[in-house]
């Protein structure tokens, strides 16, 4: 069994302003760096011997991962392109309220579908599990990919993933395919125990 701690990156100025970041490469702000330190405390309290920290290649996730790895004394591993945040296309840099005003009730074709986000999320979990079988891995990435991948696993819509929160997932070491981990179980979301869907 492989345990994954999925962490959303710390805050950026775009988060603070309510702007859709998506695949735009925005840096952490001072608050975000402090939030990364807060995540370290949660990870220490988890009682797990973390093996490695991996991340999305986007700077806000990578810098969060660097802070976590350094503070925990855990190796900083590679990046996974599958962990990049949802591509919001022409909507990146726009607030959600502006989206509703400019495109009321319409979908924008340049925005990546949620199905695509979930598929990438499962591929990332499978790859990380294959690369680190039986290890306990910290994975720093983005809110939308965490939220909708976990929602798909638990069978109901997970609430918003807050900056620098920790969600724990266990996956089987015998991946069903390169596209999906086997026996994925969500243990916590945003640090809280998960309801079992009936």
Report the pLDDT averaged over residues 11-15: 97
98 is catalytic: no
pLDDT at 175 over 60: no
Choice among 70, 82, 85, 112 that is catalytic: 85
For the 2-193 domain, the top CATH level (class) is alpha beta
Annotated catalytic residue, options 9, 122, 132, 142:
9
Indicate the pTM of the whole model.
Answer: 0.92
Write out pLDDT tens, residues 16-54. Answer: 999 999 999 999 999 999 999 999 999 999 889 999 999
Task: Give yes or no for a contact between 107 and 97, defined as CB atoms under 8 angstroms apart.
Answer: no
DSSP label at residue 12 = B
Give yes or no: 85 in active site: yes
184, burial (CB in 10 Å: exposed 0-12, middle 13-18, buried 19+): buried
Is pLDDT of 113 > 70?
A: yes
pLDDT band, very low/low/confident/very high, at 109 (cuts 50, 70, 90): confident
Tokens representing 33 are 């760096």
Q: What is the tens place of the pLDDT at every residue in 40-99?
A: 999 999 889 999 999 999 999 999 999 999 999 999 999 999 999 999 999 999 998 888
């Amino acid at each position: 069994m492989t345990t994954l701690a999925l962490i959303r990156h710390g805050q950026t100025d775009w988060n603070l302003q309510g702007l859709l970041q998506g695949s735009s490469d925005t840096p952490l702000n001072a608050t975000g760096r402090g939030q990364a330190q807060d995540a370290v405390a949660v990870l220490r309290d988890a009682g797990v011997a973390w093996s490695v920290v991996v991340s999305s290649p986007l700077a806000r996730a990578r810098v969060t991962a660097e802070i976590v790895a350094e503070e925990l004394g855990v190796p900083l591993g590679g990046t996974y392109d599958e962990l990049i945040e949802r591509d919001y296309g022409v909507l990146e840099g726009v607030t959600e309220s502006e989206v509703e005003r400019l495109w009321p009730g319409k979908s924008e074709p340049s925005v990546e579908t949620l199905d695509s986000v979930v598929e990438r999320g499962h591929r990332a979990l499978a790859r990380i599990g294959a690369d680190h079988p039986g290890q306990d891995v910290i994975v720093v990435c983005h809110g939308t990919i965490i939220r909708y991948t976990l929602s798909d696993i638990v069978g109901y819509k997970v609430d918003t993933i807050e900056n620098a929160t920790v969600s724990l997932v266990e996956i089987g070491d015998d991946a069903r395919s390169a596209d999906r981990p086997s026996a994925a179980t969500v243990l916590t979301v945003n640090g809280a125990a998960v309801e079992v869907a009936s």
